[in-house]
Amino acid sequence: MTTNPWARVRSLLAAAGSLTLIAAACAPSSEPQESVVEVVEPTGTPVTPSVTPSTSPSATSSEPVADPEPAAATEDEATAPAEAEPGSADAIDPHADAPLGYAAMNGGTSGGFGGDTVTELVLSEYRDWSGAPTPGQALHQALQEHRKAADGAGLVVYVDVTVTRDQVDAEDLVLKDVSHVSLLGVGDSGELDGIGIGISRSHDIVLRNLTIHHVSEGQGDAVGVAGASTNVWIDHNTFFSEIDGVDKDFYDGLVDIKQNTEYVTVSWNEFHSHWKASLVGHEDNAATAPDGITFHHNRFSDINSRTPLIRAADVHMLNNVFEDIHGSAINARIGARVLVEGNHFDNVGSGGTDRETGHVSGPVGWWYGGDETGHWNLVDNAYVDSPHEHLESTTDFTVPYAYEAQSPEEALAAVEAHAGSGVIDVTSR
């Protein structure tokens, strides 16, 4: 990972009265049948071009019932095309140090390096800058201390050890009422075992290259973003628990985004071995829904449902890979608008019919209750052994930023090579 040398100079200027500075440089539910990939264009609505110019609860299976009536298309207006600005983040780069998508809007997302002054800490050297007895407690204290920092201050913590639940005298590691924070795993050593990260009422937050797993206490999420937080980038992490031998409600979500949070990008992550992977919106109330979320180049595998479940938000599902999803995948409710583009679905969905909504459980739909369906624009997706013949677009929604979409086959190769933790180069010196 390339860091900002000027940020290190600023950190030296900020040493007095701050924290001590450390100089820093799936097992499937059934065996898939042999099949040919079928790339399906949407029907009933216009196809969005692959390059879009910039203009600025429970997931239990249902008993089969009668086939659903086809969903009626909406009349949403597409975003008008415009020329992309020079230098815009419109290319796919798994090693980029800035986000693509919604987190690139609203001033962008730089994390700790976006601060006017930057404090950098190496977690394994916690005894040098903290009186805490464990690295977990030291990290907790550093995040709490940052709440008292001057406006514009940035904090970067290089996580190069394992933090366990018993190291921390708190339910979760919490970033609350803070700005400009990065938690960066180093190599393949940045691990949170049994403890999650909560983000609330915060701005400009980056979580990269971490492995977070088996979180069953506290809020129960590996990462929970809430409280009208803005500009959050969750990139190149690995999230998992277990799905065999545990109740569907034993673990909560892997990444849940709630309560009016906006401008979030979730990219190049591995989600696996879990019942209910991700929420975008926690209740059937559009007034509290998050908005402006991009999921791109993530792999979801050996998961039952919620990849993700979306309520009322505008979401871009771009070039993700879905493998062995046992129940249902992208679940759109309460007027959500989802651009589902360039994704690769393999052995996704039970194929049963939801008895509450009448939708076939598969790659995209509306399942497990909710007062109103959401809407989806399907563009250039590939389906292998996944029920999809019934699918058609129900909106022409597009997104207001520049990007370059890959084909589903290109996305599959890119995700297999570059998703998850331990891939990008994050080092401290």
Mind listing the pLDDT tens digit for each residue in 143-182?
999 999 999 999 999 999 999 999 998 889 999 999 999 9
Contact criterion met (CB below 8 Å) for 154 and 3? no
How confident is the model over 221-243, as a mean pLDDT? Answer: 98
Helices (H), 100-216: 126-129, 135-146
- Please, which residues bridge with residue 218 across strands? none
Say if residue 47's pLDDT is above 70.
Answer: no
Q: What angle do CA 162, 165, 171 make, to 5 degrees?
A: 130
Output the pTM of the full model: 0.81
The SS3 of residue 167 is: helix
Range with the poorest average pLDDT among 52-61, 161-170, 245-254: 52-61
> What is the C-alpha separation between 379 and 371, in angstroms, rounded?
26
- The region of weakest confidence among 44-53, 246-255, 399-408 is 44-53
Lowest mean pLDDT among 79-93, 159-173, 204-218, 264-278: 79-93
Contact between residue 330 and residue 317 where contact means Cβ atoms under 8 Å apart: yes
Query: Residue 381 above 90 pLDDT?
Result: yes
pLDDT at 61 over 80: no
Q: How much is the pLDDT for 370?
A: 80
Q: Compute the distance between CA of residue 135 and CA of residue 140 in angstroms, rounded to an integer.
A: 9
Q: What percentage of the chain has pLDDT greater than the value 70?
A: 79
pLDDT value at 394 more than 90: yes
Banded model confidence at residue 197, pLDDT cuts 50, 70, 90: very high
Report whether pLDDT(243) > 50.
yes
Phi, psi of 298 (to 5 degrees): -100, 155
The pLDDT tens digits for 254-308 are 999 999 999 999 999 999 999 999 999 999 999 999 999 999 999 999 999 999 9
The set of residues, in sequence order, having a beta carbon less than 8 Å from that of 233 and lying 6+ positions away, is: 99, 103, 109, 111, 205, 206, 207, 208, 264, 265, 267
Query: How sure is the predictor about 428, in pLDDT bands with cuts at 50, 70 and 90?
Result: confident
403-418 pLDDT, tens per residue?
A: 999 999 999 999 999 9
Has residue 8 got a pLDDT over 90? no
Identify the pLDDT of residue 90: 58
Tell me the pLDDT band of 429, cut-offs 50, 70 and 90.
low
Q: Categorize the per-residue pLDDT at 333 as very low, low, confident or very high, splitting at 50, 70 and 90.
A: very high
Q: Look at residue 342 in the predicted model and tell me its pLDDT.
A: 98
Cβ contact 380:341 at 8 Å: yes
Q: Which of 10, 208, 299, 306 is catalytic?
A: 306
Q: 226: which 2 tokens?
A: 């809430």
Q: Concatenated DSSP letters for 335-392?
A: T-EEEEES-EEEEE----B-TTT--BSSSEE--S--SSB-EEEEESEEEESS--TT--
For residue 73, pLDDT over 70 is answered with: no
Select the more confidently predicted residue: 13 or 93: 93
Q: How far apart are CA 173 and CA 198, in angstroms?
A: 6
**Partners of residue 149 on adjacent β-strands:** none
306 belongs to the catalytic site:
yes
pLDDT (tens digit per residue) in 127-147 = 999 999 999 999 999 999 999
